[in-house]
C-alpha cells in the first residue's frame, strides 16, 4: 500500500479516543511541568579558580580568553546572590563583543572564604576588588569595565572613587539608586523575614526563587540559586553537590491522569487498598530542613546605609564613562535626574523585568552593554555583534 493510499484511508476513519496517559496541552487541567533541576557552572564559564589574597580565598569564574587588548568585564553580584548570577549574561555578551568576563563571589558569599567574613563595609568590599585583580594580573591588568548589580553596583562606585583599579575604563551600574535604596532599607528586615529560612532540596529552592519573583527567568534561577544556599549538615555550598544523582524513573514523572477519565469501582477499590499498603510501608519522615542561606543578610544591617549613602553624587564624580541600567524610570532620584539631563552618564531602562535585571533579561542587557562599548570604542564586535540593533537610550 502506498503512502498516499494509507493517508486517504486514515482520513475516513473515525477519530481515535484520546490516551488518558498523554493529555494534550489543550485539555482541561493540563499543566506543563517546569524543570527546576540545577545547571552546572561549566555550561556557561570556561574556568573557575580560587584566588588567594591577604584576606583569604576568593572564588572566581572566567570566560574563555580572547584577543589581546580586549576589555575585561569585572562583574559584582548583589547582596545574597553569587557570581553565578552572571552566568547567562556571560554567555550572551561574549557572543556579541570581543571581551573576557570575570565574576567572583564577594566576601561572605558563595564559595569565597576570608578573614572577618562579617565585615561587609563598602570600603572593605571595594578594596577586595582591587586585591583580587592585583593577585590575578599584577601590574599588567587589561582595560577593565567594572559592572555591578544592586549592592555590587554600589561597590563599583566606591571602588571607582577609591582608584583601586588603575586600568579602569568604564563603570556600569544595574538597578541601584541612592534615593530608592535608602527608602527600601526601612522594610528590608521584614522582607528578609518573609523568605523561607530552609529548603528541603535544591529544586525546592529554585522553585521558590522563581515563584517568589526574585528571579523571573527559570533558566537563570537554575544556575544561580545553588550558589546562594549551603547544605546544613556539611556546611558546603550546594554547587559542590552537582551534578545531582537521578532518582526514580522518568516514566513515572510523565504519567498524567486525564481529567475526563472515570475510575471503575474495581479500580477505585484497588487504588484505595494500594494507598493503604503504601501508607503502611512508607518510610519514616526525614528531616526536610536540608539547605539554608549561605549568608544571613539581616546581620549586615549596620553596613546598609554605608553602601548607598551619597551614592548618586559619587557616581556622578567618577571620571570614566558611566552607564546606568534601571528596571523603571521612576527609580531616578533628584541628583541623577539633573546629572542625566546634563549628559554626565547614559541611562537605559529595561521594562518588564524585576530587580535582577541581568538575570531576567540577560540578552537585552548584553545588547545594551555591547552597543555602549562599541560606540565608545572600548570593544570590537564579533560576527554576531556586527548588526546590533541600537536600543533607544538617553
Q: Which residue is associated with the grid cell 477519565? A: 261
Within a domain: 270: no
Within a domain: 104: yes
Range of the domain at 67: 41-194+300-381
Q: Is 355 a catalytic residue?
A: yes
Residue pair 76/280 in contact by the 8 Å Cβ criterion: no
Q: Is 175 a catalytic residue?
A: yes
Helix or strand run (H / E) with residue 158: helix 151-162
Q: What is the pLDDT along the chain (394 residues), one digit of tens a residue?
A: 555 555 455 555 555 555 545 455 555 554 568 899 999 999 999 999 999 999 999 999 999 999 888 999 999 999 999 999 999 999 999 999 999 999 999 999 999 999 999 999 999 999 999 999 999 999 999 999 999 999 999 999 999 999 999 999 999 999 999 988 999 999 999 999 999 999 999 999 999 999 999 999 999 999 999 999 999 999 999 999 999 886 543 333 333 344 444 444 444 445 445 444 544 455 554 557 799 999 999 999 999 999 999 999 999 999 999 999 998 877 788 889 999 999 999 999 998 889 999 999 999 999 999 999 999 999 999 988 776 765 555 5
Within a domain: 236: no
Within a domain: 225: no
Question: CA neighbours within 13 Å on the CB side: how many for 7?
Answer: 3
Within a domain: 25: no
Residue 352's region, left for phi above 0, alpha for psi from -120 to 50, else beta, is left
Within a domain: 88: yes
Residue pair 145/169 in contact by the 8 Å Cβ criterion: yes
Q: Which of 175, 300, 358, 360 is catalytic?
A: 175
C-alpha 213 chain-centroid distance:
12
Q: What is the DSSP string of 207-263?
A: HHHHHTTS---HHHHHHHGGGGEEETTT--BGGGGPSPPP-S-HHHHT----TT---
Query: What is the CATH classification number for the domain harbouring 52?
Result: 3.40.50.1820
Q: How many domains does the chain have?
A: 1
Q: Which residue is associated with the grid cell 491522569? A: 257
Q: Which of 312, 355, 358, 360 is catalytic?
A: 355
Residue 168 in grid coordinates:
579602569
Within a domain: 24: no
Q: Which of 63, 82, 85, 150 is catalytic?
A: 150
Q: Is 11 a catalytic residue?
A: no
Within a domain: 231: no
Amino acid at each position: 500500500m502506498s503512502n498516499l493510499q494509507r493517508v486517504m484511508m486514515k482520513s475516513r476513519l473515525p477519530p481515535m479516543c484520546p490516551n488518558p496517559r498523554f493529555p494534550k496541552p489543550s485539555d482541561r487541567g493540563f499543566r506543563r511541568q517546569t524543570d527546576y533541576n540545577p545547571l552546572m557552572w561549566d555550561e556557561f564559564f570556561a574556568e573557575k579558580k580560587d584566588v588567594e589574597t591577604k584576606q583569604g580565598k576568593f572564588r572566581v569564574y572566567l570566560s574563555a580568553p580572547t584577543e589581546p587588548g580586549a576589555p575585561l568585564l569585572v562583574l559584582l553580584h548583589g547582596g545574597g546572590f553569587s557570581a553565578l548570577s552572571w552566568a547567562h549574561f556571560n554567555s550572551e555578551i561574549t557572543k556579541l563583543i570581543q571581551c573576557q568576563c570575570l565574576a567572583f563571589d564577594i566576601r561572605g558569599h558563595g564559595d569565597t572564604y576570608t578573614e572577618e567574613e562579617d565585615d561587609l563595609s563598602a570600603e572593605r568590599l571595594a578594596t577586595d576588588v582591587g586585591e583580587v585583580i592585583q593577585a590575578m594580573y599584577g601590574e599588567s591588568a587589561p582595560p577593565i569595565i567594572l559592572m555591578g548589580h544592586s549592592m555590587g553596583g554600589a561597590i563599583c562606585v566606591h571602588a571607582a572613587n577609591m582608584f583601586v583599579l588603575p586600568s579602569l575604563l568604564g563603570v556600569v551600574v544595574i538597578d541601584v539608586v541612592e534615593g530608592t535604596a535608602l527608602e527600601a532599607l526601612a522594610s528590608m528586615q521584614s522582607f528578609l523575614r518573609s523568605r523561607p529560612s530552609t529548603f528541603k532540596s535544591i529544586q525546592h529552592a529554585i522553585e521558590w526563587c522563581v515563584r517568589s519573583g526574585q528571579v523571573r527567568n527559570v533558566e537563570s534561577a537554575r544556575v544561580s540559586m545553588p550558589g546562594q544556599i549551603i547544605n546544613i549538615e556539611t556546611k558546603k555550598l550546594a554547587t559542590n553537590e552537582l551534578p545531582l544523582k537521578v532518582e526514580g524513573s522518568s516514566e513515572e514523572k510523565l504519567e498524567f491522569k486525564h481529567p475526563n477519565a472515570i475510575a471503575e469501582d474495581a479500580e477505585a477499590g484497588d487504588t484505595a487498598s494500594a494507598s493503604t499498603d503504601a501508607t503502611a510501608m512508607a518510610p519514616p519522615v526525614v528531616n526536610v530542613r536540608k539547605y539554608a542561606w549561605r549568608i544571613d543578610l539581616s546581620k549586615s544591617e549596620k553596613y546598609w546605609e554605608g553602601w548607598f549613602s551619597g551614592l548618586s553624587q559619587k557616581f556622578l564624580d567618577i571620571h570614566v564613562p558611566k552607564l546606568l541600567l534601571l528596571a523603571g524610570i521612576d527609580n531616578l532620584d533628584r541628583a541623577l535626574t539633573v546629572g542625566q539631563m546634563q549628559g554626565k552618564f547614559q541611562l537605559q531602562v529595561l521594562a518588564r523585568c524585576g530587580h535582577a535585571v541581568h538575570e531576567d533579561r540577560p540578552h537585552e542587557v548584553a545588547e545594551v552593554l555591547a552597543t555602549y562599548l562599541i560606540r565608545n570604542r572600548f570593544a570590537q564586535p564579533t560576527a554576531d555583534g556586527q548588526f546590533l540593533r541600537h536600543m533607544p537610550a538617553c
